[in-house]
């Protein structure tokens, strides 16, 4: 995996994913290892982030590496009209690896093509969020003790949800049955569904949230993302489509867990936070170990 960019979760084979999750387990046991002392990591966030940027930066710090960053393109020369290509070429000469989030789909692939160092896609528009996917897989494995033969229920914005797209593609390696819950306007796109069909896996589509809950091993809630709608009226129509409450979880599988990539708005009621099924804040912690493993593997240390 050394010196390879991570742009789409499809860039990693099933074996590479499993090997990375194994390595993440080692970092969970021993998170402080100064193996990146000679490395500089650039985090370029052209879109807001709390978990992805800070868990990457925490991962680098725990491994003894140095971080250079901008968290707001308004404070970089992009504001003066500099192209993404020139920005990336410049940052390559200051760093050994770039972590980039950008609002435009395909921007991370473009950056990796002009970069002389590996690029990790930290989210490109509504396309993919492969490192979130890896921590989601790690969280699913930790809570279910397996990745194979699970029923995954995905709820909310399946159309623009980049975390959903990456996770569906990855879970296709593991004989998953998908329960896809969304408003009609926000169904999973055909370009992602084709991965399910290619593997002849089962999937069911719903507009109602309660029907699939008793079948689910994992309920993966997502936010309806205001920033992805060009028409605010369309957002207003669907913004409160789903709110998962504690009351809805009366008939569930014994090990069922609720995941969410976060941030949440109102799609999980706070009364769920107190239940043993609520795993979303632990999920965010797992991001550190998975990102430590990813940095170490890509940099070959």
Query: Under the rule (CB under 6 A), what is the footprint of ligand CP?
Result: 49-52, 123, 129, 132, 261-263
Q: Which is nearer to ligand CP, 50 or 245 (CB)?
A: 50
Q: Which is nearer to ligand CP, 73 or 177 (CB)?
A: 73
Q: Please name which of 28, 3, 6, 26 lies closest in space to residue 17, comparing C-alpha atoms.
A: 6
Which residue spans within 46-118 are E strands per DSSP?
A: 66-70, 97-102
Q: Please name which of 129, 135, 170, 121 lies closest in space to residue 284, comparing C-alpha atoms.
A: 135
d(CA 284, CA 164): 16
Active-site choice (2, 29, 75, 80) = 80
Residue 51 a catalytic site member: yes
- Identify the helix (H) or strand (E) that includes residue 173: none
Active-site choice (101, 223, 260, 291) = 101
Q: How far is the CB of 123 from ligand CP (least distance, A)?
A: 6
Q: How far is the CB of 212 from ligand CP (least distance, A)?
A: 23
Q: Which two three-digit tokens encode residue 88?
A: 């990336």
Q: Which two three-digit tokens encode residue 7?
A: 């742009």
Tokens 């993919």 sit on residue: 128
Active-site choice (4, 51, 187, 215) = 51
With contact defined as beta carbons under 8 Å apart, do 279 and 257 qualify?
yes
Q: Please name which of 263, 255, 176 lies closest in space to residue 224, comparing C-alpha atoms.
A: 263
Residue 52 a catalytic site member: yes
Q: Which is nearer to ligand CP, 132 or 286 (CB)?
A: 132
d(CA 31, CA 292): 8
Q: Which is nearer to ligand CP, 55 or 177 (CB)?
A: 55
Residue 53 a catalytic site member: no
User: Which residues, including other chains, have CB under 8 Å from residue 173's CB and lie 6 or more apart?
Assistant: 14, 17, 147
Tokens 């009366």 sit on residue: 250
Q: Which is nearer to ligand CP, 65 or 130 (CB)?
A: 130
Q: Quick count: other Cβ atoms within 10 Å of Cβ 96? A: 19
Active-site choice (43, 52, 71, 163) = 52
Q: How far is the CB of 254 from ligand CP (least distance, A)?
A: 27
Active-site choice (129, 165, 264, 291) = 129
Q: How far is the CB of 52 from ligand CP (least distance, A)?
A: 3
Q: Rounded to the nearest 5 degrees, what angle is found at the Cα of 195, between the Cα atoms of 193 and 197?
A: 75
Question: Cis bond leading into 99, ω under 30°?
Answer: no
Residue 104 a catalytic site member: no
d(CA 253, CA 171): 19
Q: Which is nearer to ligand CP, 118 or 130 (CB)?
A: 130
Q: How far is the CB of 247 from ligand CP (least distance, A)?
A: 26
Q: How far is the CB of 152 from ligand CP (least distance, A)?
A: 17
Catalytically active residues, by annotation: 51-52, 80, 101, 129
């Amino acid at each position: 995996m050394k010196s390879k960019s991570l742009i789409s979760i499809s860039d990693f084979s099933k074996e590479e994913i499993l090997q990375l999750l194994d390595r993440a387990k080692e970092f969970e046991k021993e998170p402080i290892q100064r193996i990146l002392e000679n490395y500089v990591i650039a985090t370029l966030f052209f879109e807001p982030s709390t978990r992805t940027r800070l868990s990457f930066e925490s991962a680098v710090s725990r491994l003894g590496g140095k971080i250079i960053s901008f968290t707001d393109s308004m404070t970089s020369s992009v504001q003066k009209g500099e192209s993404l290509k020139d920005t990336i070429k410049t940052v390559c000469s200051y760093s050994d690896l770039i972590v980039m989030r950008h609002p435009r789909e395909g921007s991370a692939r473009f950056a990796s093509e002009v970069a002389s160092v590996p690029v990790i896609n930290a989210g490109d528009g509504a396309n993919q969020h492969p490192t979130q996917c890896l921590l989601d897989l790690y969280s699913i494995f930790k809570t279910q003790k397996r990745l194979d033969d699970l029923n995954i229920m995905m709820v909310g914005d399946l159309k623009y949800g980049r975390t959903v797209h990456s996770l569906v593609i990855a879970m296709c390696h593991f004989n998953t049955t998908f329960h896809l819950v969304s408003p009609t306007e926000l169904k999973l796109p055909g370009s992602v569904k084709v991965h399910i069909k290619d593997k002849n896996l089962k999937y069911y589509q719903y507009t109602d949230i309660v029907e699939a809950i008793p079948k689910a091993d994992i309920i993966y809630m997502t936010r309806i993302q205001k920033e992805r709608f060009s028409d605010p009226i369309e957002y207003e129509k669907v913004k409160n489509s789903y709110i998962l409450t504690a009351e809805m979880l009366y008939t569930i599988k014994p090990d069922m867990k609720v995941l969410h990539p976060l941030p949440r708005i109102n799609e999980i009621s706070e009364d769920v936070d107190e239940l043993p099924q609520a795993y979303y804040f632990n999920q965010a912690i797992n991001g550190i170990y998975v990102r430590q493993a990813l940095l170490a593997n890509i940099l070959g240390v």
